[in-house]
Amino acid sequence: MAARPPLKLLMLHGYTQSGPLFHAKSRALIKHITKAFPLHEVSAVYPTGPLRLNPADIPGYTPQEGSGALDSDEAEIEAYGWYRRSNTAEPPLYVGLEDGLDAIAKVLSEEGPFDGVIGFSQGAAMAAMVVSLLEEKRQDAFARFAPASASASGVEGFVYPASFAKLSHPALKFTLCYSGFRSPGDRYRAFYESPPIQTPMLHVLGSLDAVVDESKSGSLIEACVGNPEAEGNVVWHPGGHFLPSQRPYLDAAVRFIRECLEGGVQKDKAKDEDDVNDMDLPF
């Protein structure tokens, strides 16, 4: 019996999460994908971001009353990020972004090749940057936006990471961005412009998301080639800042992946899936 072809997914967690935590939160999604592609050997890799966070880095954290220095239990938490946004830099600066991208490049090199990437929140922002970096001629865009004279604010553009320049990994076939957003400001334009992101991207957004608002998500949608909304690649769920696990949204992910892998040809021999477009949901 011939071996099944791989379907390998890179899974990028959100800020304050970790690889194991994202594994738990995305279990329903991966299970649904695995079931939908019985002819593939589905696997998912969950790296953890290199930036270990302190309690004070967690949004909404307040020290315990009457406590001075953090005790050992508070100081050691399993919360990580791919970068930290500076609260003082203007235009915005992502501190440690190089380290985050280098960590992902290491995974791509050692555990690839991957077919696609799935990210949540900050991980979705990273996913968009990763697929961009792997696209053909993206280094030319970084060279174009590198000089400070290319920026309206006079800031130098982000430099194409050396770790990606050394990679021989092919461009990814697709990416799923849950509560994703674009890195703001002139500093990071090369990820998204001249050309726009070419890799097919599904945007899954919460209508009640109070962490990543619609304008931030919209900026990433606009950075993608074509018209993602008109093409059905923008899906709204009636919830907040999380991965939706209800069947219609899982089906939407499966349908998108299948279209990317098979050019829209439906080959699923399982029972017909419910058509998301026929459901009474705020898409």
Lowest-confidence segment of 79-83, 117-121, 275-279 by average pLDDT: 275-279
What are the angstrom distances between the C-alpha of 23 and each of 81, 121, 171, 251? 15, 15, 24, 19
Is 132 contained in some domain?
Answer: yes
Reference 81, options 126, 30, 36; nearest CA is 126
Q: Which of 124, 132, 130 is nearest to 241 (CA)?
A: 124
Instruction: Reply yes or no on whether 203 is catalytic.
Output: no
At 203, which CATH number?
3.40.50.1820
pLDDT of residue 66: 52
Q: Is 13 among the catalytic positions?
A: no
Q: What's the pLDDT at 56?
A: 81
| pLDDT beyond 50 at 213 | yes
pLDDT attached to residue 62: 64
Asked which of 87-91, 137-141, 237-241 is least confident by mean pLDDT, the reply is 87-91
Amino acid at 134: L
- 67 part of a folded domain: no
Confidence of residue 265 (pLDDT cuts 50, 70, 90): very low
pLDDT class of 278 with cuts at 50, 70, 90: very low
Which one-letter DSSP state was computed for residue 277? G
DSSP 165-199: HT--PPPPSEEEEES--PPPSGGGGGGTSSSPB-S
In which domain, by residue range, is 190 found? 6-55+77-278
Identified catalytic residue from 241, 245, 251, 268: 241
**Residue 71 included in any domain:** no
CA proximity to 106, closest of 47, 154, 152: 47
Residue 146 within a domain: yes
The pTM of the full predicted model, rounded to 2 decimals, is 0.88
* β-sheet bridge partners, residue 213: none
Q: Which one is catalytic: 132, 163, 209, 237? A: 209
Cα 110 to Cα 101: distance, rounded to the nearest angstrom: 14
* Low-confidence winner among 125-134, 144-153, 156-165, 243-252 (lowest mean pLDDT): 144-153
**CB–CB of 178/204 below 8 Å?**
yes
Query: Which residue in 26, 121, 183, 217 is the catalytic one?
Result: 121
Q: Domain count of the chain?
A: 1
For residue 122, tell me if it sits in a domain.
Answer: yes
Active site residue 121: yes
Residue at 64 is within a domain: no
